[in-house]
Structure 1
Amino acid sequence: MSIEGKAKEAAGYLKEEAYEHGKSAESRQKAQEGRDLRNEGRIEDGKAPKTAKPGTGA
């Protein structure tokens, strides 16, 4: 578990949560960037990336 991986996962989570309910294309794009950053951090820490649809709690 790396500090950098945990930081990326946390930052990605915050960005995803901040923009996931937006209706504009820009909001959806920023939410996707957050998901990508979150998954990058998870992969660095040896975890599987999240693939469930956002907001489902899965």
Structure 2
Amino acid sequence: MSIRGEIKEGAGFVKEELNEHGKDAESKKKAQEGRDLRNEGRVEDGKAPKTTPPGSGHPEK
């Protein structure tokens, strides 16, 4: 695991969690940006990207 990948995944997680329950389009957009950053970090570390929508509550496979 790379430090850079872990940081991206952590930052993306925080951004996604802060915005996933918002009802407006801006919150949904920010949650998706967080998910994208999180997936970028996961791919750098050799993990599979998350494919469920932000806030869906599906466990990681």
TM superposition score normalised by structure 2: 0.88
Structure 2 unaligned spans of 5+: none
Kindly state the Cα deviation for residue 52 of structure 1 after the two structures are TM-superposed. Answer: 2.3
Calculate the aligned-residue CA RMSD, in Å: 1.0
State the SS of the aligned residue for 1:49. Answer: coil
Matches of 1:40 and 1:6, distance apart in 2: 10
Task: Provide the C-alpha distance between the structure 2 equivalents of 1:53 and 1:24, rounded to a whole number of angstroms.
Answer: 16
Moved over 6 A (4+): none
Structure 1 unaligned residues grouped into runs of 5+: none
Counterpart position of 1:26: 26
1:53, distance to aligned residue in structure 2 (A): 3.3
| TM-score where L is the length of structure 1 | 0.93
The count of residues paired between Structure 1 and Structure 2 equals 58
1:57 aligns with 2:51: no
